[in-house]
Amino acid sequence: MLNWFKKKTQQPDKPEEKRETETPSTPDFPPQTSVNRGEGKEEKHADDFSTSQPPPQKGSFFARLSEKLDKTKVNFTYQLDTILLGKKEIDYDLLDELEELLITADIGVDTTEELLESIRRRVKRNELSDPEKLKGFLKKEVKKYILSGEEDAALVMPKKGPFVIMVIGVNGVGKTTTIGKIAHKFMASGRSVMLAAGDTFRAAAVSQLKIWGERNGVPVVAHREGADPSSVVFDALSSAIAKDIDVLLVDTAGRMHTKDNLMEELKKIKRVMGKKLPAAPHETLLVLDATTGQNAISQARLFDDAVDITGLALTKLDGTSKGGIVINICREMKVPLRFIGVGEQIDDLRDFDAEEFAEALFAEKK
């Protein structure tokens, strides 16, 4: 689990500040909490990735995730069961069907081949002969892939000044929505949040971010449509520093209104941020849409080459039967998958947990 969202202790004696505001703050905006940056060190510890927890119980968070991933799960569990039904041995036909299933679930050709190869090896050595056991074996292997990709990100929130998260990705992947959901998580953990409308491609982008600002009761710094995104971000950062905001979430465009290159624009935003606050952005979060399948991997590589991404968020997992993309991403990318989006609502964002995800993927249909 990420511990960015660890609950902070409120300091009631700090007077509430008047906040800035292009978005009116709502009356229920929680009192500004002064963050004790030293406390609860934001580093990820080995324990954060512990795989030794007992399987979650029915009715728990896991069961809800499992429900949200129904399409993905059905693709795996149901189709796998159909393939295995009535089979007495692991033969060529069965492996052929399995290959097709894995590829169509977007696990990726390389991973599929690797999986099949290790099954073949075991079949040959008589270590795996019962089709019934195949499912357990696959689950174990898939878990290994997902866990191997779960890197210790060693993310440390700065002791002073805002924690800046720049959210990038092609248009429509869910950047703005993910920002709204992340803001909600930070607010729930007692941090103060500000949003920066760095997507000036269209007026609607700014309004959409303002709606998320209102929902969360957090200020949004925005300029007019067509403004230079770097200047919006520079202003937002100045304001966040002046107001002692804990977290600044920066929205960016997925495409450009000029012929300028999107990657160059993103590099410029990063440079400008770095001038105001040398360590910023502390996190460059790439948002990927799970329904785009293999395309997501190509996008991740392109963005990584251009702007060095430090984390990934995978959205719309609730709407795809291709949950195998998670396995592929964990295997192919060296940056950690931090969040998965499982719906359009404010609380439909989960910290990615490899163990839990693998369980949900192979959960039996009720």
Ligand X SMILES: Nc1nc2c(ncn2[C@@H]2O[C@H](COP(=O)(O)OP(=O)(O)OP(=O)(O)O)[C@@H](O)[C@H]2O)c(=O)[nH]1
319 touches, from Mg ion, ligand X, none (C-beta below 5 to 8 Å by class): ligand X
Does 254 show up as a binding residue in the annotation? yes
Q: Are 248 and 194 in contact (CB under 8 A)?
A: yes
Interface with ligand X by CB under 6 A: which range of 34-42, 156-164, 169-177, 299-307? 169-177
173 counts as binding ligand X under rule CB under 6 A: yes
171 touches, from Mg ion, ligand X, none (C-beta below 5 to 8 Å by class): ligand X
Closer residue to ligand X (CB): 344 or 351: 344
Which residue in this structure is represented by tokens 């050595």? 125
Torsion, Cα of 152, 153, 154, 155 (10° steps): -150
Closer residue to ligand X (CB): 142 or 317: 317
177 counts as binding Mg ion under rule CB under 5 A: no
Interface with Mg ion by CB under 5 A: which range of 51-59, 125-133, 168-176, 346-354? 168-176
Query: Which residue in 42, 106, 150, 199 binds ligand X (CB under 6 A)?
Result: 199
64 counts as binding ligand X under rule CB under 6 A: no
Site for ligand X in 264-323 (CB under 6 A): 315-316, 318-319
256 counts as binding ligand X under rule CB under 6 A: no
First-to-last C-alpha distance (Å) of the chain: 27
Closer residue to ligand X (CB): 134 or 317: 317
Which pairing describes strands 337-341 and 220-221: parallel, antiparallel, or unpaired?
unpaired
Which residue in this structure is represented by tokens 């392109």? 302
Does 63 show up as a binding residue in the annotation? no
Closer residue to ligand X (CB): 8 or 350: 350
Interface with Mg ion by CB under 5 A: which range of 37-45, 175-183, 231-239, 276-284? 175-183
Closer residue to ligand X (CB): 188 or 203: 203
Give the residue closest to ligand X by C-beta. Answer: 341
Query: Which residue in 176, 192, 284, 292 binds Mg ion (CB under 5 A)?
Result: 176
172 counts as binding ligand X under rule CB under 6 A: yes
343 counts as binding ligand X under rule CB under 6 A: yes
Residue 151, C-beta contacts closer than 8 angstroms, at least 6 positions apart: 334, 335, 336
Does 178 show up as a binding residue in the annotation? no
- In whole angstroms, how close is the CB of 14 to ligand X at the nearest point? 33
Does 316 show up as a binding residue in the annotation? yes
Does 171 show up as a binding residue in the annotation? yes
- In whole angstroms, how close is the CB of 181 to Mg ion at the nearest point? 13
72 counts as binding Mg ion under rule CB under 5 A: no
211 counts as binding ligand X under rule CB under 6 A: no
342 touches, from Mg ion, ligand X, none (C-beta below 5 to 8 Å by class): ligand X
Contacting residues toward Mg ion, per CB under 5 A? 175-176
Contacting residues toward ligand X, per CB under 6 A? 169, 171-177, 199, 205, 254, 315-316, 318-319, 341-344, 348
